[in-house]
Amino acid sequence: MLRLIPALLAVLALAVPAQAASAYRGYLDAMFGPPPGMTLTPDRPEHMLEYQTDYVSNPIYLRQVVAYSTSETAGTLIVDTRQHFLFLVLPGGKAMRYGIGVARVGFEWSGTHRVSAKREWPSWTPPAEMHARQPGLPTFMEGGPNNPMGARALYLGSTLYRIHGTNEPWTIGRSVSSGCIRMTNQDVIDLYNRVPVGAKVVVV
């Protein structure tokens, strides 16, 4: 008998006049609608980034200002691959800390470079070595929300390595890349706006 109640309510909703149907609509909203204070919007997202979650595996990898002692000058980027953090050195013994994804075992590297170029929505051309490891990769991919380079890229010297965004934010805090430093798209946009071409980058 209880199974018939939803069906009967649906039939009655079709048969009753508009005023009664409005009351029934109110009942459904109260039972199954959003919680008080929340309004559902029919608007479309402004861009595809809004479809991509900012999920990270641990809150420690969220962007934040921290106390940081270093001999490097303000404006320097320090990439701590073992701790999965990128530090943008600030004045007064502080740094902006970002969670990052780094190279997997066998692809680690360290060194000092300068930011040689910056790109918004960079394209991606996988090198021959990567094609040899993963034959199914495209030869070229235009920049965009589905590109693994993400929303921004900072190129490091004359190397193939970049600090770039990702459409896989759950990999932040992990060692998964072929050598590049990955950040959430929101974080790499923030970093891109703070760091000029020529900035020093120290990878340890």
Helix, strand, or coil (residue 60)? helix
- Please name the amino acid found at residue 185: N
Task: Show me where the domains of the chain are located.
Answer: 1-43, 51-203
Residue 113: is it exposed, middle or buried by C-beta count within 10 angstroms (0-12/13-18/19+)?
middle
Note the pTM of the prediction, 2 decimals. Answer: 0.72
Residue at token pair 């919680």: 35
Output the pLDDT for position 79. Answer: 98
Q: Name which of 87-96, 98-107, 131-140 the model is least confident about.
A: 131-140
Asked about 47 being catalytic, the answer comes back as no
Residue at token pair 């050598």: 179
- Alpha-carbon distance of 103 to 180, in angstroms, equals 7
CA-based nearest residue to 164, from 179, 175, 174, 61: 179
Output the pLDDT for position 18. Answer: 47
51-203 carries CATH number 3.40.50.1980: no
pLDDT (tens digit per residue) in 41-74:
555 545 445 444 456 778 899 999 999 999 999 9
Asked about 84 being catalytic, the answer comes back as no
- 9, 24 in Cβ contact below 8 A? yes
Residue at token pair 């559902």: 40
Output the pLDDT for position 188. Answer: 96
Which three-class secondary structure string do you get for 18-51? HHHHHHHHHHHHHHHCCCCCCCCCCCCCCCHHHH
Among 47, 84, 131, 164, which one carries the catalytic annotation?
164
